[in-house]
């Protein structure tokens, strides 16, 4: 007999993950009569960081029905066109990982090969000259990509920087308008069915009770349901990703907004700089095996453009993932399911990807274990793909000589990454599965930026003489230069908060 549909969903946690889940489920389940309750504790609070996103955020914002102008105003958001990596190849080095693609319109896959061929033939030109998003970002110019595949503007890409607390508040009002009920209080008791082991209710220290058929654990790094109650287990990846703490501190807003994130290599980790409308977010992500918390704090404050406008906050974490993220009737989304580190701003993406998987595998009350297995399988794979991309940054840091960086250089890469790097070196090919998050342009940017040089390219190009290939590459470069100059300068999208 078919099990009954889910009638009550309970979300534990009101951080970015909790309210993103509430906003998405309240939209997707709008006409099903499913009751959604969210339990959160102001006393515990949220992690309070998570300000940079990647372009997949557009997908989520559209799914829940967000108007861009309203969202940007409400969250102090600015445009983000990529990430500048400073110092990762030693002091003075810099490259940009731009969103969007390299080359001219419709040439995203082949252009990197044309460029590699031109470089091998002696062309001395930086990678950034060949991505409109990168050129525009460096010049402080911005426009949205056009949908016309013949236009150079179709190669652009962007995401946002925003205030994570304001984003959660914005989503909360949206979810509450759609009927989500919020219970404030610290969960003090978790009731479970003796036979199935399913969670049946959360009871707060005030005695409020949230009973449900399906529980979404968005309780943050501790994973109150998935780990502390159901013992999912954790796979620690700190041998590859050595940073395990961060100091975060805001500073005064910029007068001219930089449309990209900066990730600046430091002695024992790296520092982020994220411009919002109403402040600049700063943080030093560091390895506590290679520096002390006091030294890291001082290093952050000394490196900031202007003094902190609030006390720096320390956050500790262990990079890795839960071994299982769906057990029985509990699904973990957000930090409760694992956290790698913020270098490529992937955490909010992983939240929305968790939500997308939940929607497509949405269970009935029996929570078919086959759905849970599939959820876990895709999630594990996604985490490994992101992990490899991050390790590439840490491992390929030839110009850095400090002990942390030397240790990263000496730690063997996972086989999956080593194979990919080798393949790129040999043939210029980046072999990706169809569902991988980071695509050719991102791998190409970071491989080159981190000093991996391709010695081959797609041999189909040999049908064209080298001189003609070079002329084509130079023509694209000139078109990008001209187009970037014609774009409007970045202005505050709306008056500062
Ligand atoms: P939290 O924000 O920790 O929320 C947990 C919720 O659970 C809170 O509401 C809390 O009150 C509630 N809760 C916990 N226990 C109980 C209980 N017993 N009773 C009731 N309620 C409870 N991501 C990005 O995409 N981009 C970035 O730039 C980025 N930067 C980051 C920088 C750092 C240093 C770190 C550590 C993370 C960063 N992240 C970033 C990740 C991002 O912050 C998180 O993915 C995001 O904020 C989601 O957090 P969360 O909602 O899962 O957990």
When pLDDT is averaged across residues 405-423 and rounded to a whole number, the result is 97
Q: SS3 of 287, please? A: coil
pLDDT of residue 2: 86
Q: Are residues 350 and 416 in the same domain?
A: no
Q: Is residue 1 pLDDT above 70, yes or no?
A: no
Q: Are residues 21 and 56 in the same domain?
A: yes
Burial 158-195 (b: 16+ CB within 10 A, else e): bbbbbbbbbbbebbbebbbebebebbebebeebebeee
Phi, psi of 409 (to 5 degrees): -65, -35
pLDDT digits (tens, 9 = 90+) for 199-236: 999 999 999 999 999 999 999 999 999 999 999 999 99
Among this protein's residues, is 80 annotated catalytic? yes
Residue 91 belongs to a domain? no
pLDDT band for position 491 (50/70/90)?
confident
Burial 450-489 (b: 16+ CB within 10 A, else e): bebebebbbeebeeeeeeebbebbeebbeebeebbeebee
pLDDT band for position 493 (50/70/90)?
low
Q: Are residues 170 and 312 in the same domain?
A: no
What total number of domains does the chain contain? Answer: 3
Helix residue ranges, H only, 29-81:
57-64, 68-75
3-state helix, strand, coil in the chain (%, to 5): 35, 20, 45
CA of 183 relative to ligand 1 center, distance in Å: 18
Q: Which of 368, 385, 402 is the last residue of a domain?
A: 385
Per DSSP, 130 falls in state G
> Do the strands 82-86 and 261-266 form a parallel or antiparallel pair, or are they unpaired?
parallel
Q: SS3 of 482, please? A: helix
Ligand 1: residue whose CA is nearest its atom 39:
50
Alpha carbons 386 and 351: distance in angstroms, whole number: 13
Q: Are residues 168 and 277 in the same domain?
A: no
pLDDT of residue 496: 46
Best CA proximity match to 343, nearest among 55, 38, 85 = 85
CA of 417 relative to ligand 1 center, distance in Å: 28
Alpha carbons 123 and 340: distance in angstroms, whole number: 37
Q: Are residues 351 and 373 in the same domain?
A: yes
Ligand 1, from 219, 286, 331: best to mutate by most atoms within 8 Å of Cβ?
219
Alpha carbons 186 and 176: distance in angstroms, whole number: 20
Tokens for 362, please give them: 């949405």
Please give the share of the chain, as a percent, with pLDDT higher than 90: 97
pLDDT digits (tens, 9 = 90+) for 40-50: 999 999 998 98
* Ligand 1 atom nearest residue 272's Cα: 28
Residue 261 belongs to a domain? yes
pLDDT digits (tens, 9 = 90+) for 439-475: 999 999 999 999 999 999 999 999 999 999 999 999 9
Alpha carbons 323 and 21: distance in angstroms, whole number: 21
Q: Are residues 149 and 116 in the same domain?
A: yes
Tokens for 444, please give them: 């190409």
**Residue 193: which domain range?**
8-77+162-235+320-385
Q: Are residues 344 and 217 in the same domain?
A: yes
Q: Is residue 292 pLDDT above 80, yes or no?
A: yes
Residue ranges around ligand 1 (CB below 6 Å) = 13-18, 39-41, 44-47, 49-53, 164, 186-187, 218-220, 224, 246, 283, 285, 315, 317, 334-336, 342, 345, 347-348, 351
- According to DSSP, the residues that pair with 199 across neighbouring strands are 192
CA of 165 relative to ligand 1 center, distance in Å: 10
Residue 119 belongs to a domain? yes
Q: Are residues 169 and 29 in the same domain?
A: yes
Residue 16 belongs to a domain? yes
Q: Are residues 151 and 189 in the same domain?
A: no
Q: Are residues 251 and 305 in the same domain?
A: yes
pLDDT band for position 355 (50/70/90)?
very high
Q: Please, what is the average pLDDT of the chain?
A: 96
CA of 489 relative to ligand 1 center, distance in Å: 34
Residue 495 belongs to a domain? no
pLDDT of residue 434: 86
* Ligand 1 atom nearest residue 51's Cα: 28
Task: Annotate 435-452 with DSSP letters as a single string.
Answer: T-SS-HHHHHHHHHHTT-
Catalytic member of 80, 186, 323, 482? 80
pLDDT digits (tens, 9 = 90+) for 425-447: 999 999 998 889 999 999 999 99
Q: Which of 369, 385, 401 is the last residue of a domain?
A: 385
Ligand 1: residue whose CA is nearest its atom 21:
40
Residue 93 belongs to a domain? no
pLDDT digits (tens, 9 = 90+) for 240-282: 999 999 999 999 999 999 999 999 999 999 999 999 999 999 9
Tokens for 431, please give them: 């072999």
Residue 95 belongs to a domain? no
Q: Are residues 457 and 430 in the same domain?
A: yes
Q: Are residues 193 and 328 in the same domain?
A: yes
Q: Which of 292, 316, 340 is the last residue of a domain?
A: 316
Residue 397 belongs to a domain? no
pLDDT digits (tens, 9 = 90+) for 146-203: 999 999 999 999 999 999 999 999 999 999 999 999 999 999 999 999 999 999 999 9
Phi, psi of 111 (to 5 degrees): -60, -45
Task: Annotate 84-126 with DSSP letters as a single string.
Answer: EEESBTBTT-EEEEESS-SSSTT-TTTHHHHHHHHHHTT----
Burial 357-395 (b: 16+ CB within 10 A, else e): bbeebbbeeebeeebbeebbebbbebbbbbbbbbbbbbb
CATH number (domain holding residue 378) = 3.50.50.60
Tokens for 333, please give them: 């989304």
Per DSSP, 284 falls in state E
């Amino acid at each position: 007999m078919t099990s009954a549909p889910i009638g009550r969903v309970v979300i534990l946690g009101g951080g970015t993950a909790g309210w993103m889940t509430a906003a998405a489920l309240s939209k997707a389940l709008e006409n099903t009569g499913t009751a959604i309750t969210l339990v959160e504790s102001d006393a515990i609070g949220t992690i309070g960081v998570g300000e940079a996103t990647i372009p997949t955020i557009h997908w989520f914002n559209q799914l829940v029905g967000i108007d861009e102008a309203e969202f940007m105003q409400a969250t102090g958001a600015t445009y983000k066109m990529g990430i500048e990596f400073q110092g990762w190849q030693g002091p003075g080095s810099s490259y940009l990982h731009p969103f969007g693609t390299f080359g001219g319109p419709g040439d995203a896959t082949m252009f990197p090969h044309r460029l590699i061929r031109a470089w091998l033939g002696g062309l001395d030109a930086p990678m950034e000259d060949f991505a409109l998003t990168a050129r525009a970002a460096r010049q402080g110019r911005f426009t949205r990509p056009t949908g016309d595949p013949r236009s150079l503007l179709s190669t652009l890409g962007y995401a946002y920087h925003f205030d994570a607390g304001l984003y959660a508040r914005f989503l909360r009002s949206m979810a509450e308008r759609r009927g989500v009920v919020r219970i404030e209080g610290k969960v003090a008791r978790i009731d479970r069915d003796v036979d199935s082991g399913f969670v049946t209710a959360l009871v707060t220290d005030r005695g409020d009770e949230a009973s449900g058929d399906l529980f979404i654990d968005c309780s943050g790094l501790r994973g109150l349901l998935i780990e502390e109650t159901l013992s999912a287990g954790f796979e620690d990846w700190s041998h590859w990703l050595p940073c395990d703490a961060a100091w975060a501190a805001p500073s005064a807003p910029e007068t001219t907004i930089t449309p990209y994130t900066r990730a600046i290599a430091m002695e024992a980790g790296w520092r982020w700089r994220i411009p919002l409308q109403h402040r600049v977010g700063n943080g030093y992500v560091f390895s506590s095996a290679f520096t002390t918390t006091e030294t890291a704090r001082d290093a952050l404050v000394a490196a900031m453009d202007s003094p902190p406008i609030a006390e720096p906050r320390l956050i500790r974490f262990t990079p890795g993932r839960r071994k299982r993220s769906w057990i029985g009737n509990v699904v973990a989304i957000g930090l409760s399911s694992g956290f790698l580190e913020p270098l490529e701003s992937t955490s909010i993406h992983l939240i929305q990807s968790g939500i997308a998987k939940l929607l497509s595998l949405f269970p009935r009350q029996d929570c078919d274990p086959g759905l849970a297995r599939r959820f876990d399988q895709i999630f594990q794979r996604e985490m490994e793909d992101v992990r490899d991309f991050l390790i590439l940054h840490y491992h390929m840091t030839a110009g850095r000589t400090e002990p942390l960086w030397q240790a990263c250089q000496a730690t063997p890469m996972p086989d999956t990454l080593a194979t990919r790097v080798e393949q790129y070196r040999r043939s210029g090919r980046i072999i990706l599965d169809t569902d991988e998050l980071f695509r050719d342009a991102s791998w190409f940017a970071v491989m080159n930026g981190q000093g991996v040089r391709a010695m081959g390219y797609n041999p189909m190009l040999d049908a064209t003489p080298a001189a003609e290939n070079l002329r084509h590459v130079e023509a694209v470069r000139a078109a990008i230069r001209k187009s970037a100059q014609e774009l409007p300068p970045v202005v505050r999208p709306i008056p500062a908060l």
